[in-house]
Amino acid sequence: MTSFNRFKLLLLRTWQLSPRWYFFLPAVTFLGINTFGILVDGSDGFPRFQDTDEVFLSPSILLMLFTYASTISLTIIGVHLVSRHFRNDQLKTDSLTLPVSNKQLYVMLLLSCFIFLPFFGIISNTLIFGIVKLIGLYGLYPRWAWMWPIFSIAVLPYMMIMIPFIAFALIQSKQTILWGLGVFAAGAIIIATIANWNPDFMNSVNLEAENIGQLAKLSDDVYGPTLGTDSSVGISPFFATFSNGWSTSIFFLLVTTGLLLASGWFALKNREV
Partner 1 sequence: MMIININKLSVSYGRGEKVLDQLDLRLDSGSITALAAPNGEGKTTLLKAICGLRFPDSGNVNVLGFEPGKRQARFLEQLYFLPAEPNLPAWTPKRIGTYYGPFYPNFSDELFQKCLADFSVDPDKMIGKLSFGQQRRVQLAFALAVRTELLLLDEPTLGLDIAGKDQFRRSLIQATEDGQTVIIATHQLTEVEPVLDNLLVLHEKKIHSQLNIGQAYEQLSFTLSRQEPKPFDGSYGRRVPGGWLVVKNDYSSGNAHPDLETLYLALTEGKLKLQEPQTTL
Residues that bind partner 1 (CB under 8 A): 1, 5-6, 9, 12-13, 16, 88, 90-94, 96-102, 104, 270, 272-273
Least separation in angstroms between residue 80's CB and partner 1 is 16
- Which residue lies nearer to partner 1 by CB, 83 or 88? 88
- Dihedral sign for Cα atoms in the order 21, 24, 25, 28: negative
CA 210 to CA 56: how far, in whole Å? Answer: 9
- Which residue lies nearer to partner 1 by CB, 43 or 175? 175
Least separation in angstroms between residue 264's CB and partner 1 is 15
Least separation in angstroms between residue 165's CB and partner 1 is 21
**For residue 228, is it left (φ>0), alpha (ψ between -120 and 50) or beta?**
left
**How does DSSP classify residue 226?**
-
Long-range CB contact pairs, 153-162, < 8 A, 24+: 153/235, 153/239, 155/68, 155/71, 155/72, 156/239, 156/242, 158/71, 158/72, 158/75, 159/71, 159/75, 159/252, 159/256, 160/188, 162/75, 162/78, 162/79
Q: Do the beta carbons of residue 55 and residue 39 sit within 8 Å?
A: no
Least separation in angstroms between residue 182's CB and partner 1 is 21
- Which residue lies nearer to partner 1 by CB, 5 or 204? 5
Phi, psi of 244 (to 5 degrees): -70, 155
- Which residue lies nearer to partner 1 by CB, 110 or 250? 110
Least separation in angstroms between residue 101's CB and partner 1 is 4
- Which residue lies nearer to partner 1 by CB, 8 or 143? 8
